Chain A
Amino acid sequence: MRDRTVLHIEDNEYNRKIVRQLLSRTPYRLLEAADGEEGVAVAQRELPDLILMDVQLPKLSGLDATRLLRADPRTAHIPLVVVTSFALSGDDRRAMDAGASAYLAKPYSPRDLLTLIHKFLPEN
C-alpha cells in the first residue's frame, strides 16, 4: 500500500514549514500549494488522501476552492480540513457549509493538528 498523501494549501511559507517538519517523522507524503488555484490543480492531479486548506488564500479563497473540490466527483470524497481564523467569527460554519469535513481554528497548536490528521488517516 502506497504512502498516504496529505495536501497542505497555505500561502504562508513558515506555516508550511511547520507542517513539513511536523510530518517529517511520519509516514505521510506531503504535497504543498501556495494559493487556491494551485491547490485545486494539485488536488485534482494527485488525488491526495487528506487536504488541509487555509481560509485566506490568494487567487482563490479557501472556501471557494473547497466548493470546487466538492463539486468535482474525483475529489468530492476526500477528507478536507479547513483552517479558520478565530478572529473571524462564523468562518467555521461557513467552512462546514462549503463542504469541509472538519475545521481547525487558528492559532492552532501543531500538536492539535497532528491529532486531527491521525483521526482522518490512522497510522497502522
Chain B
Amino acid sequence: MRRASATERMPPPVVALLASPLGALVRAVARIRASVHVKLLAGFLLFTRLFIAMTAVSLRTLTETARQTNLLDEAHERVGWSRQIEHALAMQMHFTAMALLSKDDDIVARILRENNRFNDTLARLEKAAPTEERALIQAIRGSQDDAMATVADIANAVRDGRLADAMTALRTRQEPLYAKIETLVGSLVAAEETRMASLRVSIAAASHYSLRVMAGFAVASIVLALLGGFVISWSFILPVREAHGFLSEVAEGRFGGTIVVPNRDEFGALAEHMNWMSRELRRLDDEQRVAAETLRSLNDRLALASRAKSEFLANMSHELRTPLNAILGFTEIMLDELYGEVPPTLREPLVDIQTNGRHLLRLINDVLDLSKIEAGRLELGVGEYSVQEIVEVVHASLKSLALEKGLAFTAGVSPDIPPAWGDGRRITQCLLNLAGNALKFTRQGRVDIEVRLDGEWLVYRVSDTGIGIPKDEVENIFAEFRQVDTTVTREYGGTGLGLSITKRLVELHGGRIGVESELGKGSRFFFTVPLRTDGGRA
C-alpha cells in the first residue's frame, strides 16, 4: 500500500530535471538548516548582487569610453589648430612675396600679425599637446623664429632698396625654413591623426567589450535566476506534494504512514508533526478497532443471551400453561356442577381461583408473546376476518366489567367495512388491551369503541373519560413494564405489558399506534392497520 510518489502527476520536464544533478541540488537546498524566509532572502540577495556587479562593470566601461571620446575631441581640436598654423604660414609666405613685389611697408605689419596668430595658435597647441609632441612644437617655434628673423632681414633689404639681397634671402633662407616648418606641422598632424585612429579603435573595442559583458551578465542572470528559482521553489514544492499525498492517505482512513522529506526548515518541522499526528491517529484507530471488536463480540454474546432468554421464557410459559389449563378446566367444570352440586360457601373461593387463574394465564400469555416478538419468532396467522365480529367479541367480553363499574360502553363499526385480511386473533387481542385499559382507568363516564375505514386503512379507536396520561409519560407507556403511576396501577392491577405488545402486534401488521390524552379528562387511543395485509410475507 505504498503511497503515490510525490513525482506523480508532475510535468515530465520537471521529473527529468529532478532526476538530474539538479535534483541533488534541490535536496541539498532542502537540507540547509535555515528557515524558508532566510532561504528566499538569500536567493533574492544573490540576484541583487549580480545586478549590482553588472551595473558597476557597465558604469566603468561607460566612463572609460567617455574619457577616450574626450581625448579624441582634443586631438581633433589640435589637428584644427595645426591646420590654422599651416594657414598662417601660407599667409606669411604670401605676404612676404607681396612685400617684395609691392615694396609696401604695410605688408610687414600684416606679416607680423600673421606671425602673432601663428604663435598664439602654437602656444595653445603646445599647452594641449601630449609631451611626446612638445619637441616637435619646439622645433616649429625655433624655425618660425628663424623665419621671422629672415623676414626682418628681407624687410630691411626691401626698405634699403637691396632687392637682389632680399630676393636671395627669400629664396635661400626663407623658403627652406617655411618648407621645414610645413614638414614639421605635417608630421604633427600625422601624429595626431594616428592617435585619433588608435583612439577610435580603442573606443570601438571598449563598446564592443561592454556589449559582450552586458550580454554575458544578462545571460548569466537569466540562467542563474531560472536555476535558483527552480531549486528553491522545488525544495519547497516537493515536501508540499509529499504532504499532499500523505494527507490524502490519511483522509482515506489509512493511518500510520510516514512522510519523509529532506527539508530542515518549516516544511521539515511540518513533516515531523504530520508523522506524529499519523502515529497518534494510528494508535487511536487501533484502540477504536479493538474497542469496536470487543463491543461486537459483547454484542454477539448479548444477542445470543437475549435469544436464549427469550427461548427459555417461551418454553417456560408453555410449561406453565399446561398445568394452569388443567386448574382452570377443573375449576370450570366444578362451577358447572359436573362433580355435583357446589355448596354456596365454596362457590366464592372457586370463583376466586378462576379469576386469579385467568389473570395468571394472561400474564403468561403476555410474557410469551413478548419473548417471541423479541426473538423474532412471532408470526402472524393471516387470514380473512370480520371487523364487526372482532368488535362484537371484545364488547361482549368486557360488557359485564363496564356494567359492574357503572360505565357506559358502546361499540360502533361503520357499515361500509368489507372483510379484512390479517391476523384476526391478534387484532382482537389489541382491541381487548385498549378497551380493557380504558375500562380499567376510568371511574365514571364512558368508554367507546369505534372502527372506520380511511382509504386502505382500518382505524380502531377507543375513547374514555378516565384519568388521562401526563404529557411527559405519553412517550413511555408503550414500552415494556411501563406504568404511569405504580400506586394507581396497584389499585387497578396489571403489569404494564399490554400496550407494548399491542404496539408490536400493530407494527407487525404494518400499522401504527397512538394516543391523545388530557390528564383528568380522558384518553383516545387508536391504532391503524392496512385493510389487507399479509404480515410482511409476499
Per DSSP, are chain B's interface residues mostly helix, strand or loop, or mixed?
A: helix
- Give complex CA distance A58, B65 in Å: 131
* A25-B338, A107-B321, A110-B333 given; A89·B380 CB < 8 A: yes
Binds A, one of B16-24, B90-98, B234-242, B322-330: B322-330
A115 at the interface (CB under 8 A from B): no
CB proximity to A under 8 Å, residues B358-373:
361, 365, 368, 372
Residue numbers in B under 8 Å from A86 (CB-CB) = 365, 425
Contact (Cβ within 8 A) A21 B333: yes
Contact (Cβ within 8 A) B365 A87: yes
* A93-B383, A107-B325 given; A87·B318 CB < 8 A: yes
A44 at the interface (CB under 8 A from B): no
- Give complex CA distance A106, B383 in Å: 19
Residue numbers in A under 8 Å from B323 (CB-CB) = 14
- Interface size band for B: 20 to 34
B369 smallest CB distance to A (angstroms): 8
* Chain B 468-500 near chain A by CB (<8 Å), digits 1 or 0: 000000000000000000000000000000000
- Give complex CA distance A86, B369 in Å: 10
Contact (Cβ within 8 A) A111 B336: yes
- Give complex CA distance A18, B338 in Å: 10
Residue numbers in B under 8 Å from A22 (CB-CB) = 333, 338
- Give complex CA distance A71, B61 in Å: 130
B379 at the interface (CB under 8 A from A): yes
Partner of A93, one of B317, B339, B361, B381: B381
Partner of A109, one of B322, B332, B425: B332
B378 at the interface (CB under 8 A from A): yes
B192 at the interface (CB under 8 A from A): no
* Chain B 305-327 near chain A by CB (<8 Å), digits 1 or 0: 00000000010011001111110
Contact (Cβ within 8 A) B326 A90: no
CB proximity to B under 8 Å, residues A51-74:
none
The chain A residue with its CB closest to the CB of B429 is A86
Residue numbers in A under 8 Å from B338 (CB-CB) = 21-22, 24-25, 110
Contact (Cβ within 8 A) B325 A89: no
* A93-B381, A93-B383, A110-B336 given; A15·B365 CB < 8 A: no
Contact (Cβ within 8 A) B381 A90: yes
Partner of B322, one of A12, A18, A89: A12
The chain A residue with its CB closest to the CB of B426 is A89
* Chain A 1-28 near chain B by CB (<8 Å), digits 1 or 0: 0000000000010110010011011000
The chain A residue with its CB closest to the CB of B381 is A89
B423 at the interface (CB under 8 A from A): yes
A92 at the interface (CB under 8 A from B): yes
- Interface size band for A: 20 to 34
Residue numbers in A under 8 Å from B372 (CB-CB) = 87
- Give complex CA distance A109, B329 in Å: 6
A91 smallest CB distance to B (angstroms): 8
Residue numbers in A under 8 Å from B381 (CB-CB) = 89-90, 92-93
Residue numbers in A under 8 Å from B332 (CB-CB) = 109-111
Residue numbers in A under 8 Å from B378 (CB-CB) = 89
* A15-B329, A87-B317, A110-B333 given; A21·B368 CB < 8 A: no
The chain A residue with its CB closest to the CB of B336 is A111
Residue numbers in B under 8 Å from A15 (CB-CB) = 325-326, 329
Residue numbers in A under 8 Å from B425 (CB-CB) = 86
Partner of B329, one of A18, A90, A92: A18
Residue numbers in B under 8 Å from A92 (CB-CB) = 381
* A87-B368, A92-B381 given; A14·B330 CB < 8 A: yes
- Give complex CA distance A87, B381 in Å: 11
- Give complex CA distance A47, B379 in Å: 36
A41 smallest CB distance to B (angstroms): 25
- Give complex CA distance A80, B324 in Å: 25
B111 smallest CB distance to A (angstroms): 160
List 4 additional contacts besides A14-B330, A21-B339; criterion CB under 8 Å.
Answer: A12-B326, A22-B333, A87-B372, A90-B381
Q: List 24 A-B residue pairs with CB atoms under 8 Å apart, sorted by A's residue number.
A: A12-B322, A14-B323, A14-B330, A21-B333, A85-B318, A87-B314, A87-B317, A87-B365, A87-B368, A89-B379, A93-B383, A106-B321, A106-B325, A107-B321, A107-B325, A109-B328, A109-B329, A109-B332, A110-B329, A110-B332, A110-B333, A110-B336, A111-B332, A111-B336
Interface residues of A (CB under 8 A from B): 12, 14-15, 18, 21-22, 24-25, 85-87, 89-90, 92-93, 106-107, 109-111
- Nearest 8 A-B pairs (CB), nearest first? A14-B326, A18-B329, A89-B381, A107-B325, A90-B381, A110-B333, A89-B379, A110-B332
